Structures are given as structure tokens and as C-alpha cells.
Structure 1
Amino acid sequence: MSKIRNCKGYEHFYDPATNTGSIESKLKTMRYKLPIQEKAYKKRGPKRKSSGDSSSSMESDCTVDLRDNEGMQPIKEKIVWLQQIAPSPENIPLIHSAMDATFDYRRLDIQQDHPSISDILHKYPRFIDVGQGELILKEYYRLKPHANMLKDVGPKVLPPILKYAVEEKGFSDQYADENLAAIMALQIVLAPLNCKTEGKAIIEFLGAGNNIAEYAQNKSKELSQPFLVAVGRKYDPDQFVLILDHTPVPVGCDILLAFEKLFASFWVFNVHYYPKLTTFYNFFEVNCLDMKAKGAVHSLSAVM
């Protein structure tokens, strides 16, 4: 009997083209059953609508059936194509189209199988190298179609934060970009965060000339949730890089766009914030997603 074309003979154990097989199935089951404290980072639970969230949950509206192997074949072929294609100006529109076509499958797959960020990036590597993280932001806006863009709300809500931090909290760091200064000041205003002593980062600073890929590979195990690295001079960085597990994703030199991609990554990759940073991110949930203000964010609104 002749071999099936392109078949290696071990696909029933693991097929790299479709990320399926008995071994992969067992690994997914093991990852799913791990106690939360043993996981590399916490995943979001099932999404529920709240009274403060005006956006709809796209994940609950998916109509694909992952068990329908025949019906899923065209989608799986697009996923394999996305894994194999190298981005170029000519095929960027095709990549966007393929990501759109696989959106429902991807969201249901993430919701049901709880893959790690690294697993998702392995399956959809174009999140990494297309348009400085633009596919992450695009996915986020499909999940949250009514979200307010940070570039629109930031100039309204961040200057009062910086002013309050300077006048009431003694914040004196002189960042060249006032938006970056305000984001750093917010960590002080919404104390107690104590981010550095807890090893839980929002923005880390790295001097120019450092190897970002090496830094991402060797970063502290405590830095397991998504965070930004500001590259260059501390108070006037040249660019920002989003760190997803051990993968660096360049996200440009505009702090508002870079930070929005960081914020979006928690929703796109279905990951919880660090508990110590929940209040900090709630500020952006309130202003970008019209969600309910909690605790210190509610109190801050009253004095601003």
C-alpha cells in the first residue's frame, strides 16, 4: 500500500500542520486540569456580561462546531496557510482576510481548550509580525466592537491623572511624553500596587542596544503576564515592545497605541490581570470599555 502524499506516518500521534493528534490531545487535557497556581499565568474564566460592560461577547456568539472535521477543513487549511506565509506588502490583505475567516474558530478554540499564549502564537504566528501588533488590536475590536479607542479617550482622561499625581502624590519623574508620564503616575495614584517589589510589570525599561529577544527568553518567571518594554532612554524611549510569554512583539513608538495593544492582549489571549494590577487596569476598562468603576478607581473619579 502506498503512503498518503505528504504523510509522515506519525500524524495520529502529532500532526504539526493541524496541531492535532493523541499526544497533543493529552497535553491539552493536562494543561486544562492543572491547578490554577501551577499554571504559567491565569486564564480568564467564562465570559459573562456585566451591567457595566456595554460590549457583546463574541466568544459566546460563535457558531462553528469544532467536532465537525469535514466542515472545519477549509478553516484548518487557512490556518496552515497563515502559519506558512511570510508577511509582505502584497499578501497583507490576504492575511487579514484569513484571520477574519478563522476568527470564530479561533475564539471558540481559545474558550474551550484554554491554550497558553505561546500555543496561540504558534498556531497564529501572524499576530507577532504583521503591522506592529495590529492584528492583536483588530481582534480586540472584533471582541469589543463598542470599545473606545485609547488615542481618543487618553488625551481627555490622562492629563488630569498626571496633574493629580504631581500635586497630591508628589510625582516628579520628567518623562518627555506626557501620556507615558500619566500612565506611570497612575501606578502611584492607584496604590497600593507595589508593582516592582511584587515583580509584576506594566512597563519595564531597557536601554538601547540590548537584545530584546534574549531578554524575553530570560525574563523573570514572575513576569508571566503580558507587559511592555520601553527601549531606549528611560524618560524618552525610542520604541515599545509587547512581551507575550517569551515572544517580543514590536508595537511602535506611540505609547497610547502600544499600551492599547498591551490592554487588548489580555482579552485577545484570554488572560487575567495580576491581582495587584486589577485596579490599574480597571481604570482603562472604565474609560475604554464603559465597564463599572471599582474601589479605588471609583474613589479617584470622585476627586478628579
Structure 2
Amino acid sequence: MSFSPLKSQEHFFDPASHSGFLEMRLRNIRRKLEEGQRRYSRHKRCRDVEEMSSSVQDEGDGSEIREFINLMKRLRPSAENMSSIKSAMQKTFTWRRSWISKHSPTMEEILQEYPRFLDIPTLLDTEFGKMHQGKGDLFLRRWEASIMPKLKAVAAREKGDVASLVEGMEDQTDDEKCYIYLQQAAVASSLAITQLIDFVPAGSTIASLYNASQDPAQSTQPQLVCIGHLRGGSQQYVIVGKSDKIAIPLDEGLACAVDKLFKLYWVCNLAYPAPLSSVFSFVEYIYNLPMSTNRRAKVLELISKVKSIN
């Protein structure tokens, strides 16, 4: 009696018909999974809520948490109050993350409850760093020192528009270079860079940024607005949520502003606008975070090319 390796393989799994012992076994396992186990992202989110709920007791009872939340709302964001504000944020972290994960409040509701995120943007860094231990500054550590040079090397190998992006960059400002490489990271959507950052004339007031009529074609999610121009060093970046009339002025360059915007999405548990999914998926890669969305083929291709650069 002869032995056929092909028949043996088909017994375990036949790729043509998607049948066989292995496929049958996997179907049986899937049937036994609870709803929260069927997708890794949902399972992880449910597990996080359970862990946070069980550890809320370590931070004190609800009345004590409310005292710290009220304290943060009352304290002015001044240097003498900074220690008390940071301490209160630390004591309410688990309570806050559990509330956001369980109840999915809007960004407006979150910032009404924790308004210090608005006037002390560095609290976004602290919050994100506690959510992802050891990764709070990973984007800024890697972006200019490692990722931008690799993106330049990748672009040098390409032809057409991608290659032209990096030509004549020697005389450009740091923010201009950053903007160009963000364009390169937006490979999956030509609209991404315009959804990420908008430009308004120098001298525009911050109030005018969110009081402007909302373009129905634009995303309602928060984005960056640059008051002024990339060249000249006189620009200011502001995170603007027009739908919620929210503005967070920033005193840093473009790379730091993009980092803050990305962290706001995670801190407030916001969905990425479709045009920005490619850019933020690439930022997730830089942060070494698990994929929160299905990365498009062009993004995966760019990540593969970046990884290939020594």
C-alpha cells in the first residue's frame, strides 16, 4: 500500500475546499469561545476594564475619587498647583480609564470632567505613558533619529512623486522636513495630510479656529491647525475639535504636535478618521503598539521597506 504525502496533507487541511481535520477543529474551538474572546482587541479591552474595575478600590471609594476630580477642576493650572494636579490625576487614573472604557463618553464629556488636559497638554503624555508603560516618548525618540532617515532612504529608492518629496531638503526647517515625511507616511490616502493639519493665516485667533463653519466634507474628529507658516519659525500649533468647540494650544514643533494629537485619540478612545488611518497606523508601528485597525496594504508595504533599511 503506497503512502501519498498529498493525501495526508489534504486530510489535515485542503486549501482548495478549506476543509479537513484542522479546519473542523478550529471551528469547534471558535464555537466554545465567549463573545469577548472572539477578537483580540475586544478581549483585551474587556480584560482591561475588569482589571481596572477590580483595582479601583486601591484608589479609594467613589466619594474620595470625586473629591480629587473636583479638586482638579477648581485648581488653576499654575506652577504652584502643578504638584497637586499631577497627584490628583495619578490617584484617579484607574477610575478614569475604567469610566472611558466602560461608558465611551464623548471627547467633550471627558474634557469637561478632566479640563486640565486642555490647559496642561503634558498630562496627555503622562496619561498615555501610564496606559502603555515604557512607550510614552517612543515616537519622539525614534521619529527624527531613526524613522525620518529611513523614510528618506526609502524615498531615494523610489521614482516619481515619492522621490521628489525628499529632493532639496537641506535648506528646509525641521517642521518642513517633518511635514514631508508625514506626507510619505500618508501613502494610503491623498487626503490624509490635509485632514491631519490645516493652515490658517498668521494672526488668526484661537477662538476663530473652532468657530469657523464646519465643512461637511471634512472629518468631525480633532485635527491640528497651524497658525502661520512652516517656514520662519513663527507658527503655533493648536489641536482643534470643531464639533466640540475645543482648542488645545501647543508650544512645541510639528513632531511634538502630531504626537500630542495621536495621544489625545488614545486617551479619549477616539476612532481614527478614515483618511488618517494610514498615518496613525504608521505612528502605531513607531510606538510598537498592537494594530487597532486593519492596516492597509500600502502602509504594510511602507513599514516593510522601513524595516529593511539598516
Q: TM-score, normalised by structure 1?
A: 0.71
Cα deviation 1:216-239 (Å, max 9, x = unaligned): 232435332121112222444522
Percentage of identical aligned residues: 24
| 8 Å Cα contact 1:190/1:279 also seen in 2 | yes
Question: Match for residue 252 of structure 2?
Answer: 253
- Within 5 A, what are the aligned runs for 1:150-169? 150-154=139-143, 155-165=145-155, 168=158, 169=162
Is structure 2 residue 277 aligned with structure 1 residue 278? yes
Letter in 1 for 2:280: Y
Q: Give 1:137's aligned residue.
A: 125
Q: What is the RMSD computed on CA atoms of the aligned residues?
A: 3.1
Name the CA shift for 1:138/1:65 in 2 (closer, same or farther; >3 Å).
Answer: closer
SS of equivalent residue, structure 1 residue 272: coil
Counterpart in the other structure of 1:301: 303
Among 129, 134, 149, the alignment partner of 2:138 is 149
The answer (yes or no) to whether the contact 1:228–1:240 under 8 Å persists in 2 is: yes
Superposition pairs for residues 1-304 of structure 1, below 5 Å?
47-49=42-44, 59-63=49-53, 71-130=61-120, 133-147=121-135, 149-154=138-143, 155-165=145-155, 168=158, 169=162, 170-171=164-165, 176-178=172-174, 180-188=176-184, 190-195=186-191, 201-218=195-212, 219-220=214-215, 222-236=218-232, 238-244=235-241, 245-291=244-290, 294=295, 295-304=297-306
Please, which runs of 5 or more residues in structure 1 have no aligned partner?
Answer: 1-44, 51-56
Q: Is the 8 A contact 2:200 2:228 kept in 1?
A: yes
Partner residue, 1:29: none
Q: How many residues align?
A: 248
Higher RCO, Cα 8 Å, sep 6+: 1
CA contact (8 A) 2:199 2:225 kept: yes
TM-score, reference length from structure 2: 0.70
Q: Cα gap change, 1:303/1:177 in structure 2, threshold over 3 Å: closer, same or farther? A: same
Cα 1:251–1:90 shift into 2, 3 Å: same
**Alpha-carbon separation, structure 2, partners of 1:257 and 1:129:** 16
Return the structure number with greater helix share: 2
CA offset digits 1:41-82 (Å, max 9, x no partner): xxxx975449xxxxxx8555213699xxx9300111111121
Q: Secondary structure at the match of 2:290?
A: coil
